[in-house]
Structure 1
């Protein structure tokens, strides 16, 4: 495919255009035959004026290699009003969110597809995996190949199922873009805001309260690293909209590790309601999971006291 290193080196010059189009009801970037012709209005690509560097020079060259940007006019400006009228922009506009989206989609979608194709192990270990996952996108695409029992083994039939494979892979790629643009990225600013106010929640700075429901787990580790946070967050509190209770979630050791940095106390685990409240000494306790990674209380104040008590334990 791209090659394990080469894909990361690709400029995200056209990614901004792709992200914006992905948020429309009918994506305009869906795979279609080339739309470039002499009768098609020339595309316009923007980059900044003034001193230039290799990255935007190469990006502008590369984007012209795409059929629908062949012969595109390069507009060098920093005027936001002009940039908004263009078909794509390169290295200008202050859209740092695009780079975050590009890297996240690359990391969470493209790398796995590329690694499977190149026979790369997911873990640096000679031990056999605990379980086999045959439900990945790569596995499902491979299963679309013609069965050996298929009577028609012609190139035409093979091309037919390849079209199915393209649609499957493409639909999941577009879904990944939609999720990252509409859900993953907006959550980042919410988590960042909640992290900034953590000392208003508790003097330890180790308890964070989410002011609204979002995918906080996807961002907390990156933000802690970027902000140089110490000590790290141990517990996150948020309201469970289904039960109206307040939940306490112990933060995991890392994004790929089920272990918690500081699980809720052993003697709380598996208990519920009044029995749990009696042991904890805090009113309104609802439950604590048997593994200690989460628990709940019927009020915000009760959940906060549970988190504080767990920190002291």
Structure 2
């Protein structure tokens, strides 16, 4: 993270001239622009700013150019210019001595801007009140899961892959023969429109990612709290449906079944042996497989039992108490069968 106050964050009324290169665009400078938008002028029109030379009331202006004279006049220059000097608002990474992360991965323009402006962007993006520690955790999660892959892709370390954010950005570029077909002026318009489309897609992804990580951190706290309160640590009872598997595997919890509401009923979901695998640590009883309502209630002894999947990884009851009872009975049957072997 930044060791200085980045340009534009100390004085919130300062007009900021941001610039990246013209021509072919990629995920790193597109994300870089989106980061600056949310850090410096989140109320501005992200798309219109790209397509218009001036917007009244917007403290952030944005230009795409390779002209040395235009670059020199900009306050923040990223992915072009040959200089990395954040105190002066210069964020290029194409030099021989390029900026490198502590883990050895070279920074892209997106990574450099996220380092300086990312925390402010996250604060502006979070829609519900959270503490500063959560803001930092969101910043770190996005740095690891989204920004670092962009750094790797842009520096030729590792491709993000098909249908990745990098691929989506590239797909917004006009075809190679646009100038040949429509002329230079029209090609430039189509290029700017493509960048606007790419920035819109990247912005939507960033907004959703911030909110999903916020919710994931919230879920982590609730899962741990529920686990601590559980009488039988093999049965995790959640009063609200939310992701639980990541916490179970990350914390190496011995949870076998998760009981949680789903619509008008409560389900019991079996946890797989390892993250991402099929199968179950403890399958539901074979005698329940594929049964529904009356027949399942008769076999299981749970009066409000609703269903048991043939694959034995999920079952449900009408009530919370019924679902908990199904989880308990399933473990009793498993323990009995295991003891007979």
User: TM-score category by the smaller chain?
Assistant: 0.5 to 0.7
Unaligned runs of 5+ in 2: 10-33, 50-57, 62-84, 91-119, 122-130, 335-341
TM-score by length of 1: 0.58
Q: Distance in 2 between matches of 1:109 and 1:158?
A: 25
- Is 1:164 aligned to 2:197, yes or no? yes
Q: Distance in 2 between matches of 1:290 and 1:27?
A: 50
Q: Distance in 1 between matches of 2:3 and 2:257?
A: 36
Query: What pairs with 1:18-33 in structure 2 (closer than 5 Å)?
Result: 27-28=42-43
Change (3 A) 1:256 1:121: farther
Query: What pairs with 1:37-56 in structure 2 (closer than 5 Å)?
Result: none
Q: Give the root-mean-square deviation of aligned CA atoms.
A: 4.0
- Is 1:206 aligned to 2:272, yes or no? no
Change (3 A) 1:250 1:30: farther
Q: Could you report, residue by residue, the CA deviation over 1:263-296 in whole angstroms, capped at 9, with x for unpaired residues?
A: 3233322221122223323322111223222110
Q: Which residue of 2 aligns with 1:48?
A: none
Q: Which residue of 2 aligns with 1:237?
A: 259
Retained in 1: the 8 A contact 2:4–2:87?
A: no
- Is 1:102 aligned to 2:139, yes or no? yes
Bigger radius of gyration, 1 or 2? Answer: 2
Q: Distance in 2 between matches of 1:235 and 1:12?
A: 46
Q: Distance in 2 between matches of 1:214 and 1:12?
A: 37
Retained in 2: the 8 A contact 1:12–1:102?
A: no
- Which of the numbers 162, 182, 188 marks the counterpart of 1:152? 182
Count the aligned residue pairs: 228
Q: Which residue of 2 aligns with 1:73?
A: none
- Which of the numbers 273, 286, 298 marks the counterpart of 1:253? 273
More helix by share: 2
Higher relative contact order (CA 8 A, sep 6+): 2
Retained in 2: the 8 A contact 1:209–1:237?
A: yes
SS of the counterpart of 2:182? coil
Q: Could you report, residue by residue, the CA deviation over 1:101-128 in whole angstroms, capped at 9, with x for unpaired residues?
A: 1232234333444455546378xxxxxx
Change (3 A) 1:303 1:63: farther
Change (3 A) 1:144 1:264: same
- Is 1:174 aligned to 2:202, yes or no? no
Q: Distance in 1 between matches of 2:287 and 2:209?
A: 41
Query: What pairs with 1:66-145 in structure 2 (closer than 5 Å)?
Result: 66=89, 95-115=132-152, 117=154, 118=156, 120=158, 134-145=162-173
Q: Could you report, residue by residue, the CA deviation over 1:47-73 in whole angstroms, capped at 9, with x for unpaired residues?
A: xxxxxxxxxxxxxxx874558xxxxxx
Deviation at 1:234, TM superposition (A): 0.8
Retained in 2: the 8 A contact 1:144–1:161?
A: yes
Deviation at 1:218, TM superposition (A): 4.1
SS of the counterpart of 1:296? strand
Unaligned runs of 5+ in 1: 1-9, 37-61, 68-86, 89-93, 123-132
- Is 1:186 aligned to 2:205, yes or no? no
Retained in 2: the 8 A contact 1:253–1:260?
A: yes
Deviation at 1:208, TM superposition (A): 0.9
SS of the counterpart of 1:219? helix
Q: Distance in 2 between matches of 1:248 and 1:285?
A: 11
Q: Distance in 2 between matches of 1:137 and 1:261?
A: 35
Q: Distance in 2 between matches of 1:189 and 1:121?
A: 34
Q: Distance in 2 between matches of 1:258 and 1:170?
A: 34
Q: Which residue of 2 aligns with 1:84?
A: none
Query: What pairs with 1:260-271 in structure 2 (closer than 5 Å)?
Result: 260-271=280-291
TM-score by length of 2: 0.54
Deviation at 1:186, TM superposition (A): 2.2
Change (3 A) 1:35 1:111: closer
Q: Could you report, residue by residue, the CA deviation over 1:31-88 in whole angstroms, capped at 9, with x for unpaired residues?
A: 678759xxxxxxxxxxxxxxxxxxxxxxxxx874558xxxxxxxxxxxxxxxxxxx89
